[in-house]
Amino acid sequence: MHAVLLASQGNTCYAVHVLSSFVTRSALGDWPQRAMVLKIFFPQCCNLADSGLLVGRWLPGQQSAVVLAVIHFPFIPAQVKNYLGELRSQTQVDLAVLGSWSLPKDGQEGMDSFLEDLSAIFPRGRWLKLSREVGRRGFSCQVVRRDTPPAPEGAGDDTDCDAEDKVIFIHYDQRKVMLAELHDADGHDPGAQAGPSELHELFWTVAQSQPLYHLDRYDDGPLKLTHWQSDGREASIVAELVKQASVPVCLLFTCMLSLWNRLLNASILNVWPVRFVSSKLSTCVQLSYRTDHLQTISSPSRAVRHTEFMRKANIFVSFLLDVALGLLLVSWLYRENRIGWLANTLVPAADHVAKELQELLQWLMGVPAGLKMNRALDQVLGRFFLYHIHLWISYIHLLSPFIEMILWYLGLTACLGLTFALSVLSDIVALLTFHIYCFYVYGARLYCLKIYGLSALWRLFRGKKWNVLRQRVDSCSYDLDQLFIGTLLFTILLFLLPTSALYYLVFTLLRLVVVLFQGVIHLSVDLINSFPLFAVGLRVCRPYRLAEGVKFRVLCKESGKPLHLMMEINPLKLSKVLKSYRMPTYSCYPRDSWWALCKKLFVGELVYPWRHKGSKAD
């Protein structure tokens, strides 16, 4: 029978599984009222270690001790002190000898008394005497206290020294804790918590003690240690060669990118028309975005924080995936002359679209859906748009001999990545539907002019006017001539509004279809640019690397022996992985609300696909 206890420590919620009988009042009735529970975090790799000294750290402000390694006999106490002093300067962790560890074996009958005598050489507030018999799972523990002066406030190794300690062993996988990054409940950066909790201190202590794990029992040095790498260090020749080669490669990429940035910042490219057009082309925007990414991953400076490392790794994996998909697209395009097939299909498709637009305009110039339109305005608008379509067809047929060559060279941009190919496709769609965009702008401007004119004349009838300086509606008195002219203009605009509104509605729907297609392309580009593939792969393959908390299960409970718990890591949820490690990206489409978008469409304001939220229209 298990009970689940939820304890909040430092914004992190941990699920702790313990026996219900252990947490009930009846089970604690035979304990002293002032008894303290001493928690000893013990690594699984040291369960069968030879007798020796326990090296670890007392967690400040906690009734807890973290065991990191076991030093085996033979050793010289002075060498142990010097070694721990060097580790303190390297790791900034207060490593110390916590006590002795005894695993009886043949020929080591006097080892226990020898280790107990060492407690005077390594003075601490407490001395732990741990022993284990071969064939039994539980440990025996004895806490030896000394008469030492009280430690400063916040010290964790001599709190409540007058009370009898009850010991709980918490076994943990040292390798997983070493490599894991503990996140808080909200998925924030593990290094940005407000105050260190007990588990954060545990994870930080194990991670910072990495130099301690470089020495093991197989080395020829003066000390023999057992820790998580004692049975074979994790190393890879390929990984070491990549680390050695990464520095010159990063320097080469940095030099190349600096030259590229100088070229982009040249004075000829900062001319207003060039800068304006390049800021609207999706290919140029993606090129600038990938340049920033390459500068980030090619920086020779080491990523110190976990977030910096994950950002570089996600960008690198995203870049490799992008290039791989782009090369697959190139191999498909240039096989079996698919470029020529696309070029031969493009011109007939453009002619078909232009023909459909001509039929649509001729339908609007008649009696569309039985609606009676203003004949003069209808004919003027229809002929105006038909002339634009005629110019567009002539332009397409003028470029038709060169389209295959243009597509052949544009297809090579896929070698830079699939995102570049999609950006080029978006720009091609924008250029091929430029006449639809012009129709939309003409219709929107004409419709907007009439809407704002009617609203201004409506205020005139009510004795109001718009105060430009104060940005409000004020009262105003008009004479008879002003009211007559206003009534005449209001009547003209009102009867011309249905014809303009119909043209605006039709061309707005066509424009929204094009924008929707480009939006799907840009969403695909944003997905490739921002998806944290490395973090998701890490969560799937090694879930302990991204930890949200821990849970405990009972490992061993024997009468008269300390309770043994097993600490297991709770992996971070996939939704929180995506939320925490998703890379920021640009957005070529407005982020306004649906209500704001509908309001703009109703009053005839232009909806630019490249405008960010909060930017003003030209």
> Do the Cβ atoms of 316 and 534 come closer than 8 Å?
yes
Enumerate the H helices of 433-479 as residue ranges.
434-461
Per-residue pLDDT tens for 307-345? 888 888 898 899 899 999 999 999 998 888 888 888 888
Q: How distant is the alpha carbon of residue 461 from its chain centre?
A: 57
What is the DSSP annotation of 333-368? HTTTTHHHHHHHHHHHHHHHHHHHHHHHHHHHTS-G
**b/e map of 44-65 (b: 16 or more CB within 10 Å)?**
bbbeebbbbbbbbbbbeebbbb
Separation CA 61–CA 157 (nearest Å): 8
Angstrom CA distances, 593 to 332, 345, 511, 588, 590, stand at 40, 38, 19, 15, 9
- Residue 67: the pLDDT is 92
> Do the Cβ atoms of 73 and 250 come closer than 8 Å?
no
Residue 192: other Cβ atoms inside 10 A: 9
Separation CA 457–CA 489 (nearest Å): 8
Separation CA 314–CA 366 (nearest Å): 58
Separation CA 429–CA 609 (nearest Å): 13
Q: CA triplet 250, 255, 258: central angle to 5 degrees?
A: 120
**b/e map of 514-550 (b: 16 or more CB within 10 Å)?**
bbeebeebbeebbebbbbbbbbbebbeeebbbbbbbb
Q: What number of CA atoms fall less than 13 Å from residue 501's CA on the CB side? A: 13
- Below-50 pLDDT ranges, the chain: 1-34, 148-164, 185-195, 588-590, 610-618
Separation CA 125–CA 156 (nearest Å): 9
Under DSSP, is residue 68 helix (H, G, I), strand (E, B) or coil? strand
Angstrom CA distances, 553 to 141, 260, 410, 556, stand at 20, 57, 60, 9
- Residue 249: the pLDDT is 64
Q: Sort 226 into a burial class: Cβ within 10 Å, 0-12 / 13-18 / 19+.
A: buried
- Residue 245: the pLDDT is 60
Which single residue is written with the structure tokens 């206890």? 5
What is the DSSP annotation of 69-130? EEEESS--HHHHHHHHHHHHHHH----EEEEEEE---TT-TTHHHHHHHGGGTS--SEEEEE
Which single residue is written with the structure tokens 């975005």? 289
Q: How distant is the alpha carbon of residue 448 from its chain centre?
A: 42
Separation CA 185–CA 361 (nearest Å): 59
Is the bond preceding residue 74 a cis peptide, omega within 30 degrees? yes
Separation CA 82–CA 100 (nearest Å): 18
Q: CA triplet 298, 301, 307: central angle to 5 degrees?
A: 90
User: Per the structure block, which two tokens stand in for 70?
Assistant: 């076991």
Separation CA 240–CA 244 (nearest Å): 6
Q: How distant is the alpha carbon of residue 74 from its chain centre?
A: 50
- Residue 10: the pLDDT is 36
Separation CA 347–CA 400 (nearest Å): 7
Under DSSP, is residue 609 helix (H, G, I), strand (E, B) or coil? coil
Separation CA 215–CA 57 (nearest Å): 18
Q: Name residues whose C-beta falls within 8 Å of residue 277's C-beta, 6 or more positions apart in sequence.
A: none
Q: Name residues whose C-beta falls within 8 Å of residue 411's C-beta, 6 or more positions apart in sequence.
A: 330, 333, 334, 339, 421
Which single residue is written with the structure tokens 């229209």? 617
pTM (two decimals): 0.75
Q: Name residues whose C-beta falls within 8 Å of residue 558's C-beta, 6 or more positions apart in sequence.
A: 137, 138
End-to-end CA distance of the chain: 70
- Residue 609: the pLDDT is 59
User: Per the structure block, which two tokens stand in for 256?
Assistant: 């190349």
Q: What number of CA atoms fall less than 13 Å from residue 60's CA on the CB side? A: 12
